[in-house]
Amino acid sequence: MDGNGRWAQQRGLPRIEGHRRGVASVRRITEHCVEAGIEQLTLYCLSSENWRRPPTELSFLMHLLEQYMIEERALLLRQGISVSMIGSRAGIPAATLEAIDQTHALCAGNQRMHLCLAINYGARAEITGAVRRLVREAQEGTILADDIDEQMVAARLDTAGQPDPDLLIRTAGEMRVSNFLLWQISYAELWVTDTLWPDFAAADLDAAIRSYSSRVRRFGGLSPS
């Protein structure tokens, strides 16, 4: 969800106003995904590298996230959306984690769509953690090193049990994946738009879906024709 800061700067506003406006886009796009029948939506809220930003901005982001998790509960319940978090909990304020955990528990029975929030997340750290778990299990003798396959690795990632993404959308014209779900997006279709995240609307999402639906996914093989 790129472009919050640039959106604010273009309007002579503080960067935090861009983040505030970005939350409205989250609400708008989440609702539209439900209406479109999408079963899984993952939002990259904060990368593990984003801690390099000014402390005041990070503090505001944590407060905004806490506020979102509390204020959106009625919407999440009404729309049948379950919520989970991937990423490290280290460094995230206790109040923010409590709000996330409470919303997760409250919405656990919802089955219409799953909303996954990547917070303090980095794919390299995620994969490293999975490798450590596999090594530990091999050392304990519960698995054999020679038996380790892709399914065993995937089962130890933060996203275990979730489907791999079909479509990766990048806003604000960014042409990189920025350490996001590196294992999981191996065969995802990419769609990039110059639209900044606060301006990202349902029509933009529809355009991404139309582009995706027109593509032939070969997964390394040949097209049916």
- Distance of alpha carbon 25 from alpha carbon 142, whole angstroms: 45
Which of 50, 164, 179, 199 is the catalytic position?
50
Three-state DSSP at 120 gives: strand
Q: Which structure tokens are listed for 75?
A: 């919407």
Q: Is 2 annotated in the active site?
A: yes
What own/partner pairs with CB < 8 Å and gap ≥ 24 does 216-225 have? Answer: 217/187, 217/189, 219/187
| Phi, psi for 168 (deg, rounded to 5) | -110, 120
Distance CA 27, CA 7 (A): 18
Please confirm, yes or no, whether 199 is among the known catalytic residues. Answer: no
d(CA 125, CA 132) in angstroms, rounded, equals 10
Give yes or no for a contact between 87 and 119, defined as CB atoms under 8 angstroms apart. Answer: yes
Question: Do the Cβ atoms of 85 and 104 come closer than 8 Å?
Answer: yes
C-alpha to C-alpha distance for 220 and 217, rounded to whole angstroms = 9
Catalytic residues: 2, 50
